[in-house]
């Protein structure tokens, strides 16, 4: 039977001919910049390059192998180095992901992003994307012009993950260095190494080996389609600042945050979220003024627990296993719904 006859027959039977290309999953790539789109003067220059220089179409053209796995199209959201990330870009990304994922023709989303604040964007989307469809963040530690640039393979792996039915319902993920990390638990642990993203307490969700996604764990906490947070109508987020405890600390930063209008403060405390007594007096005054104060830890792994009963009696909350930058994101979202510290502690215990 000729193709023409097959097409006529298919039309008569009420369905369209599906070619191999049409049958591929549709993956949208939202580009924000970062080192994955960075350029340097030479192949050996690995620092001091221009992050976010290349547009999304250049990145797509550089990895034609993606087209074997997905019908890929790109959209440039911003072109920034992620140390310059803003709340307004976070909101724009969440809103665009939700629009795209509501389209039955879209199977998944990849977001190219700088690695510096990638964990914050991933966690924000993990709490605000209302879909089971895969959303995968990807970056690189070496600019696109570098010898052994890690971006192209990371991008291919991210697209394959976003197109993979196994990845449905797993929350927002990060695919880098042949590892699948979950948005809640992963953090950047090394300033320059390609294996920078690790999940110190939970471990990775899976690995990528021989070109296959191999899942090892499920995310344990509420995320995406189970999340209570809705940013569809928001154009700003509550101000939440992070302070850092150290020897000889004092209350100056806390007072400045309150003066600047902070609704919440996350404290990167020493050890198990401990706070210097000179900082504590500032925290107590901030709490009396209605600021929500969450103890986290500067240690880099482990759970920040209740610890001293006095701190709880003074109204301080604890972040659990969230590091300060993740606790800040959750506190911003919590404050869009309630100012009640007890309710907010419940949110920290659930997400």
Sites of contact with ligand SIN (CB under 6 A): 33-35, 51, 81-83, 114-116, 139, 141
Residue number, nearest CB to ligand SIN: 114
State the nearest-atom distance from the C-beta of 113 to ligand SIN, in Å. Answer: 7
Q: Which is nearer to ligand SIN, 83 or 338 (CB)?
A: 83
Q: Which is nearer to ligand SIN, 31 or 262 (CB)?
A: 31
State the nearest-atom distance from the C-beta of 138 to ligand SIN, in Å. Answer: 10
Residue 35 among the catalytic residues:
yes
State the nearest-atom distance from the C-beta of 88 to ligand SIN, in Å. Answer: 17
Q: Which is nearer to ligand SIN, 119 or 280 (CB)?
A: 119
Q: Which is nearer to ligand SIN, 113 or 184 (CB)?
A: 113
State the nearest-atom distance from the C-beta of 102 to ligand SIN, in Å. Answer: 29
State the nearest-atom distance from the C-beta of 31 to ligand SIN, in Å. Answer: 12
Q: Which is nearer to ligand SIN, 49 or 348 (CB)?
A: 49
SS3 string, the chain, reads CCHHHHHHHHHHHCCCCCCHHHHCCEEEEEEEECHHHCECCCCCCCCCCECCCCCHHHHHHCCHHHHHCCEEEEEEEEEECHHHCCHHHHHHHHHHHHHHHCCCCCCEEEEECCCCCHHHHHHHHHHHCCCCCCEEEECCCCCCCCCCCCHHHHHHHHHHHHCCHHHCCCCEEEEECCEEEECCCCEECCCCCCCCEECCCCCCCEEEECCEEEECCCCCCCCHHHCCCCCCCCCCCCCEEEEECCCCCCCHHHHHHHHCCCCEEEEEEECCCECCHHHHHHHHHHHHCCCEEEEEECCCCCCECCCCHHHHHCCCEECECCCHHHHHHHHHHHHCCCCCHHHHHHHHHHC
Q: Which of 7, 19, 35, 47 is catalytic?
A: 35
| Active site residues per annotation | 35
């Amino acid at each position: 039977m000729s193709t023409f006859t097959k097409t006529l027959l298919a039309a008569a039977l009420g369905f369209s001919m599906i070619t191999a290309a049409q049958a591929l999953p549709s993956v949208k790539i939202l580009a924000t910049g970062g080192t994955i789109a960075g350029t340097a003067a030479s192949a050996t220059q690995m620092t001091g390059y221009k992050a976010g220089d290349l547009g999304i179409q250049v990145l797509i053209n550089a990895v034609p192998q993606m087209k074997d796995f997905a019908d890929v199209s790109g959209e440039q959201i911003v072109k920034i180095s992620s140390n310059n990330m803003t709340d307004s870009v976070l909101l724009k990304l969440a809103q665009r992901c939700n629009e795209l994922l509501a389209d039955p023709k879209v199977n998944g989303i990849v977001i190219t992003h700088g690695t510096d604040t990638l964990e914050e964007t991933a966690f924000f989307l993990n709490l605000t994307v209302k879909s089971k469809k895969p959303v995968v963040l990807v970056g690189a530690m070496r600019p696109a012009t570098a010898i052994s640039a890690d971006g192209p393979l990371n991008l291919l792996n991210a697209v394959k993950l976003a197109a993979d039915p196994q990845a449905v319902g797993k929350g927002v993920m990060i695919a880098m260095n042949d590892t699948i990390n979950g948005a809640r638990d992963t953090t950047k642990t090394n300033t320059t190494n390609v294996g920078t993203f690790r999940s110190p307490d939970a471990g990775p969700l899976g690995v990528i080996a021989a070109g296959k996604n191999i899942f090892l764990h499920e995310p344990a906490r509420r995320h995406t389609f189970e999340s209570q947070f809705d940013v569809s109508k928001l154009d700003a987020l509550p101000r939440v600042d992070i302070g850092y405890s150290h020897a000889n600390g004092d209350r100056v930063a806390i007072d400045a945050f309150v003066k600047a209008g902070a609704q919440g403060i996350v404290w990167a405390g020493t050890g198990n979220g401990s706070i210097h007594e000179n900082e504590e007096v500032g925290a107590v005054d901030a709490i009396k003024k209605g600021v929500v104060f969450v103890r986290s830890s500067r240690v880099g792994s482990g759970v920040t627990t209740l610890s001293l009963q006095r701190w709880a009696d003074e109204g301080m909350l604890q972040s659990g296993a969230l590091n300060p930058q993740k606790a800040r994101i959750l506190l911003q979202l919590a404050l869009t719904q309630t100012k009640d510290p007890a309710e907010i502690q419940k949110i920290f215990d659930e997400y």
